[in-house]
Structure 1
Amino acid sequence: MLQSPENDLFPFGLQDTKLSSNFRGRLVACLVVLGAAGTVSTAQSARSEIVETRDQQDHAGREPPVQVAREFQAEKSNTHKSLQKKANDLRLEYVAQQTNNLNTAEALPTISLQEGWNLNQALSMPEWFELNASILSQNNASFSSPQVQPTSSNLFNLGFRLMPLEAVRNGFSWQRDSTSPEQQAHQSFQSKIAINALFTQRAGQILSSSIPNQLNTQWNFGNGPIARLNYLNLEYKAEGELISMVKLGKLMQAQDFTVNPIQCYFSNFGLCGWAEGVPSMIDIPGNPFNSYGAVVAFGDSNNVNLRYGIYQIAPDTFAPKYHGLDFRFNQGNGVAHFAELRVPILTKAQIPVQVSQQNHISKASSWDQANAIYQSNLPPGTITLGGWLGSGSFQTVADSESADSTNNGAYGIFSLRIPGFSLGLDHRIFLSGGLGFNPDVQKFYSGGQAGLVIEGLLPKRPFDTFSIGTSYASFNSDYFLLGLVPETYTPGTEWATELNYSFNLNQSLKLMPNIQFIVNPGGDPGVSPAVVAGFQVWLFF
């Protein structure tokens, strides 16, 4: 059943402030009148007592005249009952209109992004086994000098989620569970335990290798064809409990820390979180990381929550020759600790809208003016504060033959919906930044991102997104990208700005043309800016 947005200021969760304030004013007025009436009635009662006392004194030995007191008492009672009835009538009218408004919101149709082709439904997969597959193709060309050849970078992902205890309980039946939604809502212990895995196959080249620049123009993890196991872990997940998640095994650090999904509405990898263009992270090898570790989360994800992770630092186990399948425990040369505090900023995913006869969709000023409910796809707003501590052996930037024992840093991410913002149906702004505390072993002193994502900017394209964002990387003065000549310049700060529009046709297909501006590529202020055009295609199954 659909629900209207909640508002703690008013009962029944409605946001119609005009209606609420109107009734509230009328109720307050009635209460004031009741108070005044009570004061007058008290005075009248006192007056009747004085009259009766005087009468008793002036006419001793005769029966006291109580008629005046009775009249005052009757008037007091009638006035109080009349005002009380009016107040009750107003309250009932308020409740009735609020309830009608709530029922209207529940009866409104919901507009959501159309489903695409679902691999699990097509294969009739059981509830205890879920497949996830996707293909990402990114094609980029630069129009700056010197000219570089256009490149195409492709990434194929195949993952699964297996609930072994649920499978045992169902006897490994390949039929979908026929339990009711009410039964499914009560999560059993068996369904809280899962095995997760992700395999990738990359191919093609990244344009940033030719420019060269640090803030990668495309999502990918290196050049050339190679297949890898990204992660393989055992997970316990129980929303609402004190310990809401525990994960053990081969882990991908960026899956649990340092990234907000809103940052990844871009092609430039420097904008998507922390894998590029920020303080050089702990030397968990590459991204995907595939490192032994454990993560535990405390608290419900919908409320303030805290998570902690510990990872083995073992760069050699992720060498291409192993394809992520090196399961040796004794290859580590250090340990990385991550901690992150998340404070959700409540943003309702259901938004009241008006749909015209021409199928133009626009935001409604209130629920009573809406004729449909819009289901936003943007992630909720959050405030995230985190950091890491690394201990082990870390190669220094200035001298590859030397090492240091610590690598520490901190970061923050902030995203929210701006009240009163009129463009589109929904939006998020985000701001993030990070700082390294050990520059001797970190390739970047600092880095950060900022951007705006608008969903439903065009009235007839409610689920497309328009995004604009920028990121920067402040280079360690001793760090030079591969392909650049050391000692010929002093590395400074590289900037990347991207403008894109994503055509989200359904939940399976997204097409995103984009344009990027790279300033000071490689941190070299003497190099001309690079202008990059790109086209990204996402297929989800």
Structure 2
Amino acid sequence: MRSFCVGLLRAMACLSLVASSLNAGHAEPREDRSELSPDVERLEVIAQPWLHDWLWLPEWIRLSFNYTNEIDANPSGGNQQTGTYTHNVAINSAFSSGFGKEASEWQEIDHWTLNITASQRSGTSLSQKIPNEIAVEQIYGYGQTFRLAGLWLERNQAEDGLLKMKFGKFATFDDFASSPLYCFYTNNGFCGQNWGIPNSLPVMAYPANQYGFVFFLGEVDGPHLRSGTYQINPDGAEPAFHGADFQIRDSDGLAQFVQLNVPFGSGKPQAARRLEDGSVVLVSEDELEVDSVSGLPQPVLQPGGWIGNWQFPLVNGSGKTS
């Protein structure tokens, strides 16, 4: 039976300490024309340090709170017509002596950040009620409960070379086969990550985690190579562990991911001007009135691949593994 479902609402609210995402590490240097032309207005939507001001936190702490909900319904088709609500509450924290310092002033200790993230999920799945194969709500999964989403050390630098190195407990798709663009959708066929990979290889997506080691090597504003090695431990996603399964078993496997990121297009501020109706349009440099910074990520090509070593079930239904 065919069914038609619709996402009625996806709402997000965020209180953050910093302008850049915690997952991105330290900010990278970029051209800033407004410094050369102080009279030019700059349009850029950035998070504000409200929690830092309210809680009087020291400079070396970064803290953010994020609430996302999805309300979906299937007005026709399926076994029943109904609607559901689900949400994810994220608490992200990071600790580094480099916060608040210019990258040119960093000592080695300032490059390092300790990240701790947590998640609380509640709600019901519309896909279990229709039912259908790919989850309608991306933020439903791994058990609707509180869990440790990640615990890792990360090193960042703002010059070409070893751009990032991280190790600890985190999700594979924090760094591979993913894009910020995906989460403009709610359906898990699009949102979060390329879903064909976790269907074939049991590595974790947020808010589950496994042991991993990742590094980025290349140019700050150009191509870079990503490599990641991960524990294969499907049991670690069980809700009973609440994300805190630190065991390493003989039955665990190993997964290796490699990805080349090749950005194209400009991620720098663009020349724009404001029309009489208040709208802003892009213009040539000689017509510059406003510096506009897009809220969308820079377009990037991401070729890559993975290999896994584990006891994979054979597809012939025999119950055997290989």
**What TM-score does the superposition give when structure 2 sets the normalisation length?**
0.81
Equivalents in 1 of 2:121, 2:208: separation in Å? 15
1:286 Cα shift?
Answer: 5.5
Equivalents in 2 of 1:348, 1:224: separation in Å? 38
**Alignment-mate amino acid for residue 330 of structure 1:** R
1:329 Cα shift?
Answer: 2.0
Residue in structure 1 matching 2:51, options 119, 128, 135: 119
1:162 Cα shift?
Answer: 1.3
Counterpart residue number, 2:61: 129
CA contact (8 A) 2:149 2:208 kept: yes
Output one character per residue of 1:500-535: Cα deviation in whole Å (capped at 9) or x when no partner.
Answer: xxxxxxxxxxxxxxxxxxxxxxxxxxxxxxxxxxxx
Output one character per residue of 1:213-248: Cα deviation in whole Å (capped at 9) or x when no partner.
Answer: 233222224276311111111111113242221111
1:394 Cα shift?
Answer: 1.3
Output one character per residue of 1:143-162: Cα deviation in whole Å (capped at 9) or x when no partner.
Answer: 11243320001111111111
Distance 1:121 1:214, change over 3 A: farther
1:395 aligns with 2:313: yes
Output one character per residue of 1:21-60: Cα deviation in whole Å (capped at 9) or x when no partner.
Answer: xxxxxxxxxxxxxxxxxxxxxxxxxxxxxxxxxxxxxxxx
1:298 aligns with 2:217: yes
Output one character per residue of 1:398-435: Cα deviation in whole Å (capped at 9) or x when no partner.
Answer: 4272112xxxxxxxxxxxxxxxxxxxxxxxxxxxxxxx
CA contact (8 A) 2:254 2:309 kept: yes
Equivalents in 1 of 2:206, 2:313: separation in Å? 18
Identity across the alignment (%): 26
1:184 Cα shift?
Answer: 5.3
1:374 aligns with 2:307: no
1:153 aligns with 2:86: yes
Q: Secondary structure at the match of 1:143?
A: strand
Counterpart residue number, 1:39: none
Equivalents in 1 of 2:48, 2:118: separation in Å? 22
Q: Secondary structure at the match of 2:303?
A: strand
RMSD: 2.6
1:117 Cα shift?
Answer: 6.7
1:312 aligns with 2:245: no
Q: Secondary structure at the match of 2:53?
A: helix
Q: Secondary structure at the match of 1:263?
A: helix
Q: Secondary structure at the match of 1:280?
A: helix
1:3 aligns with 2:33: yes
1:367 Cα shift?
Answer: 2.1
Counterpart residue number, 2:28: none
Equivalents in 2 of 1:198, 1:332: separation in Å? 27
Equivalents in 2 of 1:190, 1:307: separation in Å? 23
Equivalents in 2 of 1:150, 1:210: separation in Å? 9
CA contact (8 A) 1:206 1:220 kept: no
1:354 Cα shift?
Answer: 1.9
1:142 Cα shift?
Answer: 1.1
Equivalents in 2 of 1:359, 1:285: separation in Å? 45
1:310 Cα shift?
Answer: 0.7
Residue in structure 2 matching 1:261, options 171, 174, 180: 180
Output one character per residue of 1:224-280: Cα deviation in whole Å (capped at 9) or x when no partner.
Answer: 631111111111111324222111111210001111212222222211253535572
Distance 1:278 1:373, change over 3 A: same
Q: Secondary structure at the match of 1:395?
A: coil
Q: Secondary structure at the match of 1:144?
A: strand
CA contact (8 A) 1:136 1:155 kept: yes
**Alignment-mate amino acid for residue 128 of structure 1:** W
Distance 1:234 1:333, change over 3 A: same
Q: How many residues align?
A: 291
Q: Secondary structure at the match of 1:316?
A: helix
Matches within 5 A, 1:316-331: 316-330=235-249
Distance 1:400 1:129, change over 3 A: farther
Matches within 5 A, 1:415-494: none
Q: Secondary structure at the match of 1:213?
A: coil
Counterpart residue number, 1:413: none
Equivalents in 1 of 2:250, 2:50: separation in Å? 40
1:300 Cα shift?
Answer: 2.6
1:386 aligns with 2:319: no
Q: Secondary structure at the match of 2:302?
A: strand
Q: Secondary structure at the match of 2:222?
A: coil
What are structure 1's unaligned runs of at least 5 residues? Answer: 5-101, 168-175, 405-541
What are structure 2's unaligned runs of at least 5 residues? Answer: 1-30
Distance 1:273 1:219, change over 3 A: closer
CA contact (8 A) 1:284 1:315 kept: yes
1:118 Cα shift?
Answer: 2.6
1:336 aligns with 2:255: yes
CA contact (8 A) 1:216 1:268 kept: yes
Equivalents in 2 of 1:324, 1:250: separation in Å? 9
Equivalents in 1 of 2:143, 2:235: separation in Å? 19
Counterpart residue number, 1:251: 170
* Structure number with bigger Rg: 1
1:116 Cα shift?
Answer: 5.2
